[in-house]
Amino acid sequence: MHSIWSRANTIFAFTLSVLSAVTFCCFLSTIWLPNTAPVTISASNPRLKSMVDYASDGSKSDVVMLSLNIQADVSSVFNWNVKQLFIYLVAEYSTMKNHLNQVVLWDKIILRNEKTVIIEESIPPKYYYIDDGNNLLSHKNVTLVLKWNVIPNAGYLAMAQGEGQFVVQMPDNYISGRF
């Protein structure tokens, strides 16, 4: 009556249905868990320099160099559905030209079985902190925020933010020479 191929197809389809249901239950079991953690961020010695931006029309742009301190324990974010975290430090500020500017200064990937406590002391930014003009001179409200993307085994990619931030006040004058 039924060939071996039709029986194999039935078993395969049933197995895929069960695996899909189990994967969906995995997603549902962790969707309401919190993805935040307390963080401590600080920055010191902000230095500002005006440099020619060769990527645009040759106008000048502000370049910032500072020393960063980051401490966070993200072990509470990990559960059995979290594969890894992509953590990044963002400098957020507003200018007359743009309502919201966001510049990524530092990032790190933490896998499930790695150390989940981040302690970075007196590190320079991993990426250049360049404004799209001369908007950072005497800027008093540049906020450093630690954010992360939660990469799950099953489900959607959640974005979260650490509980804690730091406000940097930019200097009133440019430096000359090298950073």
Judge if pTM exceeds 0.85: yes
* pLDDT surpasses 80 at 54: no
DSSP state of 154: S
pLDDT at 55: 67
pLDDT band at 45 (very low <50, low <70, confident <90, very high): very high
What is the tally of structural domains in the chain? 2
Give the structural domain span for 12.
1-30
How far is residue 64's CA from residue 127's CA, in Å, rounded to a whole number? 11
**Does residue 52 belong to any structural domain of this protein?**
yes
Based on the domain organization, do 25 and 101 belong to the same domain?
no
Give the CATH number for residue 66: 2.60.40
